Structure 1
């Protein structure tokens, strides 16, 4: 007899999941266990409701799929029937076309066959015979057609009537269907139509087409089976989704599209062959069932599930309120512990006898001692330095008796490794729930780093103050809109005292804009509050040179806006004594004026022989006129009229000689620079009159072009004339050195207005036909005492550029080329119409740059 087997033999791995589940469950907090217990039934109800909805949805999707298959099958059947009907009409029209090509059908026979087709098939509106030139030979139109289909013999087809299919049929020589002609495409048609064009063959040539026109509505009514139109809303649409024929079903309820299975209206469309994608047949099923939303059983299950969920939520809220008190207590405890552990301030509690009863982690971290090494200890404590024990004992006695200052006190504290650091302590009493004091709470903060930073800031401030006090410039800072002096260095106080009036006077004399004090300043309110200051504080420094009578000094004043340490917008002024520099500039101006006078004298010395020759002509004329008059008076052969004419000519020649002498005197006369509004044409004319003498001596032709209506310029006419004369004389000498032939010995002066860098200027150009400037000469052109002429001093062009730049202008030189050959040189300089004179340059208005 065999031993019966045990009823169940559990495998070693079977209890493992259960054991794991129990361990995980016991590790959860009571609140989490309550939450899981509540969420279990809620999840079960939600899953049940989801399963019911999924079942309904699956069944509905199956039903929709069957309906979709049915509508697809019926639409394809209707499309096949419509295709067969179109092919039959196509074949009949092609038969007529073949008879016409074979000359077996005349116009009367065509009309008879067309009438038979149109009367037999209602969807066929018209049959038209069109020749190769798009002219209608004959057409038969149904009585139901509109006026647009009526065409007379010889009438030309319009380009839009066949929608481009006429040319396609002519090229392919095959039957071609046109796109549906919709009333929205052409105003000539009242209803959508479809055309078929059958090409005709005339002994191998294109002989025209047979055009049949279908009513698309007739194709739908007579081509689609009635059993299909009874079940579906059948429409014929074009490729732009426009309905051409049929009834459009009413729009569906948007709410029915929330779920995919609630969209229960089956729909299918397919192109109509052989027309192509231009004509589609579409069928949409009528909604016959109520769907999932209309099912009463579905709503019953939903309502029961909602009630169950509501009850479970109510139970969960009740359980949650019960757990909230426990959670609040745990959260408060954890919060206080976390706050205590995260504090950087050390906390130490003493009882009334001075024994340590509590220290926080920050206190242990500061001293490097563990909590066990501090709690329970009595004075002296291990974190007291040996050298400070007596002082700290006195401090502890004051602490235990409540005599510590409210602002705290500073002490030295020793770490476990023997390192000392500075700390500040604050003391407050400890009160128990009965209102009795049980000890003292001391907070300790490490102030070693703040003290180091404060000492560094103090040293930095002292260095900053020492540097500013030692500067040889007066520095002051004052806020905008307030009569308050924020900062003034030693030199400012020596010049103006500690008053803000000196700062304001410097700003006023320098012409720097500053906001005047307002009534808001009296109420300690910033009058400029709210205005953007970035543009002012990032602006460049403004400079000005002024004379202060009270000090008897010339000062260079620089100012800029800055944001003060308290956030207010302030203005800093730096005043530097430039009196020695101004004296040096005045001496340099005098020396430059002497150099200019010497240059003019040198120029006139070089022109002396030409000037003598020029004066010889009027003087010789005067002598001849006087001798002639004396001879004729002696011989009594002159009348009063002839005598008067001779005297007028003599006076004219004397006046001419006087003008030459006067121009030379005014040119070489040493005078102070005097800028006036000068007429450009007069200035150029005077310069040409003097330079023309020298140019004629070198046998150089002078031509000029002066633009009309030139504006006046603020210049010293004598200085600008000197520049023009020097440039024209240099051009003549360059031509002389190049030994140019007479035909190429010319100097041209051009004066035109221009706009350079958004500034209106007058440009002066002197062009010569000399040998140009070599690269070496171009690099040293304006170098002092450098000259290419053996007798030259090398100061002419240097002075010319200095004169132009003193008028805020620029001078440049360039060679003129004809291909690779240098054919001359051009010197150009321009003078601004309204010179931009700074305050610094206004004092030395016409001083040349040396």
Structure 2
């Protein structure tokens, strides 16, 4: 049987559990925090008590203020209802008069009679005016108290202003309209009501009724409300129109405005609307904070209690702060000892270990309890070093320790050995007595390994530099000191800096004042340039000749920061004598290849040249035979003989010109760049190529742009390129077996702007079969030819000649739709070749390279 739960067990266990949780939390707090909570709890209780009193007092005052505000609101709304009913009653009476006027039931005399009765009966009514549709006053009756300035007379027109505007609004709306009173606290301020008049549906004027707002306030608002509050009627802008607002309350020493200690409420007066507002004010009757003696008594007692608690708490905090500073200092020193990587060991005067830090234990592998109390030999001494370490310990205890420390071997608990450096200093107590020795130990195994690696690396680096086939030297700026020189530099120039300075000067990288000579303005030429700009700058290679060595050297220079911080210059020189000799030989071979190419070209054109010479020679033979026959026949006229001899001489000159042109083309000569006329070069080339064109029955046309500038070229080489291209074009047309109408070659020479420079472009166009894609890829390779008997050096030499003049050559097929219609070979020569051409920089003859 299950026993029922004992009533109240749950309620008793919950507080017990909460108390247990509180005790556990309190016990987990440190003593400093427990003291802080013990001091803050009473202060918090006092502050909470004072806050509760202030909240209760504020709540009571708020509730009382709300009751007062509700009373004011209720009374003001009651007064507003009274005013509303009074205005509606007057409005109804005026509307009955307006209806009678519209129906023609009353005339002007009757209107004045009824107006007088209404004004005398109701004091707020000041005037009634009948106005027709032309704003003309037909009849008007006013109270005796109305000022003469506000009276309206019969047959007068409405004065411009508010009444006229209200008249237009009433006519448009066909409804009663109230005016907008303007505040100024003047008793003559009137509230106007205009009621439209309508005769048979047509607007026929208005009935204007004018109220005294001050009388409305006095007679329309209940007397008990006027007695209890300061009631005013205000316009839409909040300015009083009638009534007197509440006067400021005067205190003992200062004037307190009514808004700070008064209750206000306002509501618009219907049917006028927001243009007329009923505003009521009343002084507060409840006691303020100043008049609440109980509140001030409780506040003073609470403040005194809080002040005493704060004073006691500050005193306790000063004691706690001193205690915490001591604990923090102890923890800081212990943290420093445990965080440093240097092992610390303290010995007393009997060489017993009295203290070791965490780093020392971590280095050796033994714990603090195992090390403290040991005497020599210590457990971390290697067995084979006992005597050596004992001597060092004796020197340490007798004060003969080295200031820079000493290196020893230390054994770990695992048996591993590592290198360490020990530094010894005496321990002095506050009384100036020595109590022992402090030893710091640093593991230098890794630095020793790095030092050994650096030494080996330096040796390898030195071996590599010494074995280089290039001279390497480093010298500081403005000095003749040599900082580094490898074996080849010492072999060439010795151990002095003259060779370094000579190479730097000839290479064009010698800085100002590098010789160390004093001048009037002793300022380094590189003084204004940042070091980073110098050390990061890239220098170009320079080729120089050293007469003392009889060698050509390629020199590269760079600025760098030396190990001591000085700005230095490194010069690397490589012997390129063999390469220069090879370049000279290549240049000679290229020159011979050009001559051979011209000879081959003329050999291939031999039959055409023989045919070309056969014509003038045959003509000379015929002229001579004719002259002999005529002389033998006796038919010799002087004029006829002179004409025949002149023609014979002309044919002989033609044959001589052909021979001279061929000799000049095949003559082997040194390249000579001179200002050359483009038209003359083209004419010579066309004259030579035209022989081959006529033999193959191909039409050759050429176009040279007018006023072309001269080119600084070797005209023979350019003519060789043009002749070779035109011959290749003729062979392509002949091999393609084109019909007579499509057998043509065209040469065009025009100016062009390429690669940001002005140039002359030469283009040869043919109507042959074009070039295959695989041929285009290898077209300018040496010894590549599509002819069975070709040597493959013609186009390669042509491209080399063009590139030696800083030009470029390329080829492409011409298409007519998808069909190849021919080929275009073109090259361009710049008008002004750059100053760094081979002829300008090289000390030997210019070479042509592919």
- Equivalent in the alignment of 1:686: 684
| Structure 1 residue 438 corresponds to structure 2 residue 439 | no
Q: Is the 8 A contact 1:520 1:527 kept in 2?
A: no
Change (3 A) 1:359 1:526: farther
- Equivalent in the alignment of 1:727: 725
SS in 2 for 1:772: coil
Give the distance between the partners of 1:49 and 1:285, measured in 2 at CA.
40
- Equivalent in the alignment of 1:370: 367
Q: Is the 8 A contact 1:559 1:574 kept in 2?
A: yes
SS in 2 for 1:787: coil
Deviations 1:225-270 (A, max 9, x none): xxxx967569xxxxxxxxxxxxxxxxxxxxxxxxxxxxxx99xxxx
- Equivalent in the alignment of 1:423: 420
Change (3 A) 1:845 1:329: farther
Q: Is the 8 A contact 2:838 2:846 kept in 1?
A: no
Give the distance between the partners of 2:496 and 2:838, measured in 1 at CA.
27
- Equivalent in the alignment of 2:713: 715
Write out aligned runs for 1:203-352 (5 A): 320-352=317-349
SS in 2 for 1:740: coil
- Equivalent in the alignment of 1:846: 846
Give the distance between the partners of 1:417 and 1:819, measured in 2 at CA.
89
SS in 2 for 1:753: strand
Give the distance between the partners of 1:796 and 1:44, measured in 2 at CA.
114
Change (3 A) 1:506 1:527: closer
**1:345 deviation in Å?**
0.8
Deviations 1:438-460 (A, max 9, x none): 11111111111100010011111
* Greater mean deviation of Cα atoms: 618-627 or 558-567: 618-627
Q: Is the 8 A contact 1:348 1:442 kept in 2?
A: yes
Q: Is the 8 A contact 1:482 1:521 kept in 2?
A: no
Deviations 1:768-801 (A, max 9, x none): 1111112343233233333333432222112112
SS in 2 for 1:333: helix
**1:517 deviation in Å?**
4.4
Deviations 1:598-638 (A, max 9, x none): 11011122223433444455667777888999979995644
Write out aligned runs for 1:72-151 (5 A): none
Change (3 A) 1:488 1:314: farther
TM-score, normalised to structure 1, is: 0.64
Give the distance between the partners of 2:459 and 2:691, measured in 1 at CA.
73
- Equivalent in the alignment of 1:559: 557
Give the distance between the partners of 1:448 and 1:419, measured in 2 at CA.
12
- Equivalent in the alignment of 2:182: none
Give the distance between the partners of 1:457 and 1:500, measured in 2 at CA.
28
5+ residue gaps, structure 1, are: 75-115, 121-141, 146-228, 235-264, 267-280
Q: Is the 8 A contact 1:690 1:725 kept in 2?
A: yes
Give the distance between the partners of 1:704 and 1:307, measured in 2 at CA.
120
Deviations 1:439-498 (A, max 9, x none): 111111111110001001111111111111111111223445655433221101111122
- Equivalent in the alignment of 1:21: 22
Q: Is the 8 A contact 2:501 2:510 kept in 1?
A: no
5+ residue gaps, structure 2, are: 1-5, 71-75, 81-131, 137-157, 162-232, 239-263, 266-273
**1:361 deviation in Å?**
1.4
Structure ID, larger Rg: 2
- CA-atom RMSD in angstroms: 5.3
* Greater mean deviation of Cα atoms: 512-521 or 810-819: 512-521
- Equivalent in the alignment of 2:228: none
Write out aligned runs for 1:354-503 (5 A): 354-480=351-477, 483-503=480-500
SS in 2 for 1:477: strand
- Equivalent in the alignment of 2:598: 600
Change (3 A) 1:483 1:652: farther
Deviations 1:64-87 (A, max 9, x none): xx9xxx9xxx9xxxxxxxxxxxxx
Matching residue within 668, 671, 687 for 2:669: 671
**1:543 deviation in Å?**
2.0
Give the distance between the partners of 2:796 and 2:347, measured in 1 at CA.
91
SS in 1 for 2:806: coil
Change (3 A) 1:233 1:601: farther
* Greater mean deviation of Cα atoms: 588-597 or 35-44: 35-44
SS in 2 for 1:434: coil
Matching residue within 741, 744, 751 for 2:742: 744
| Structure 1 residue 802 corresponds to structure 2 residue 800 | yes
Deviations 1:82-123 (A, max 9, x none): xxxxxxxxxxxxxxxxxxxxxxxxxxxxxxxxxx99989xxx
Give the distance between the partners of 2:533 and 2:275, measured in 1 at CA.
69
| Structure 1 residue 706 corresponds to structure 2 residue 707 | no
SS in 2 for 1:13: helix
Q: Is the 8 A contact 2:513 2:525 kept in 1?
A: no
Change (3 A) 1:564 1:746: farther
* Greater mean deviation of Cα atoms: 460-469 or 34-43: 34-43
Change (3 A) 1:597 1:39: farther
Give the distance between the partners of 1:433 and 1:520, measured in 2 at CA.
64
TM-score, normalised to structure 2, is: 0.64
**1:420 deviation in Å?**
1.0
- Equivalent in the alignment of 2:546: 548
| Structure 1 residue 777 corresponds to structure 2 residue 795 | no
